[in-house]
Amino acid sequence: MRKFLIEGLTHRPLTEPAPGPADPALEKLGLQVQSAQHQRLGRSLAIRMVDAGSCNGCELEIHALSNPFYDLERFGLRFVASPRHADVLLVTGPVTRNMVEALRRTHDAMPDPKWVVAAGDCAKDGGCFAGSYAIAGGVASVLAVDLHIPGCPPAPIELLKGLLVVLDSAARA
């Protein structure tokens, strides 16, 4: 273990610079947030992640956000275990009918102000699972979505860009 600790002290971190200004498409999707809310939140957001029926591919890339290359927490973004501590609900997957109630209840448990980010092509409109008897649709069929991050699954850098848009609009008065 000593070897790893010494390496940690003597080597430069692997963490990569933050992605540049988000692309205009994402910017356009940026959130309209009232100024009073920004002041209360500052530059930090707690994220509660809910898989509403994904294939688990999106989760793998969301996990990757915490690895040393992307290091999500340096931006003040962190995942929390309880919706009661969360500002952002990050939802993946086509929403299955079996998950509609759990998704809605999780959202209900979050305090205001709150945002909903839908990640992945399935979360937009059901993706390739749309039309099945078991699928309610995209996240927007259950909750009002503030931002959608496309991809199947979205690469971590795309997820990061999207989440930074949320953070920026939350911080911009």
Partner 1 sequence: MPETFQLIPIAAQALRSRPIEAQRVSRVPWSQAAHQLAEGRLTLLGLWASPSAVSMAVLDGAHHLGLLRVDARRGSFPSVGRLHPAAQRLERTIADLYGIIPEDAPDTRPWLDHGCWGLTHPMGETAPQPEAPGPYAFLPVEGESLHQVAVGPVHAGIIEPGHFRFTVQGETVVRLEQRLGYTHKGTASLMAGAPVARGAQLAGRSSGDSTVAYAWAFAQAVEAATATQVPDRALWLRALMAELERLANHLGDVGAICNDAAFGMMLAQCSVLRERVLRTCDLCFGHRMMRDRVVPGGVAQDVDTARVQALVDLVAEIRATLPSLVALYDKVASLQDRTVSTGTLTEALARRFGAGGFVGRAAGRNFDTRKHLPYAPYDQLQFRVPCRSEGDVNARIWQRIEEMEESLSLIAQILARLPSGPIAVPLTPPDASREGLGLVEGFRGDVLIWVALDNRGRIAHSHMRDPSWFQWPLLEAVIEGNIIADFPLCNKSFNCSYSGQDL
Interface with partner 1 includes 3 (CB under 8 A)? yes
Interface with partner 1 includes 63 (CB under 8 A)? yes
Instruction: Tell which residue, 128, 139, 122, has the closest CA to residue 59.
Output: 122
Min dist CB 121 to partner 1, Å, is: 10
Q: Catalogue the E-assigned strands of the chain.
A: 45-51, 77-79, 88-92, 95-96, 115-119, 135-137, 147-149
Within residues 79-118, the interface with ligand SF4 by CB under 6 A covers: 92-93
What track of x and - describes contact with ligand SF4 for positions 58 through 77 (by CB under 6 A)? x-------------------
Q: Choose from ligand SF4, partner 1, none: what does 62 bind? Cβ within 5-8 Å by kind.
A: partner 1
User: What span, in angstroms and rounded, lies between the C-alpha atoms of 84 and 105?
Assistant: 11
User: What span, in angstroms and rounded, lies between the C-alpha atoms of 54 and 95?
Assistant: 8
Q: Choose from partner 1, ligand SF4, none: what does 91 bind? Cβ within 5-8 Å by kind.
A: none
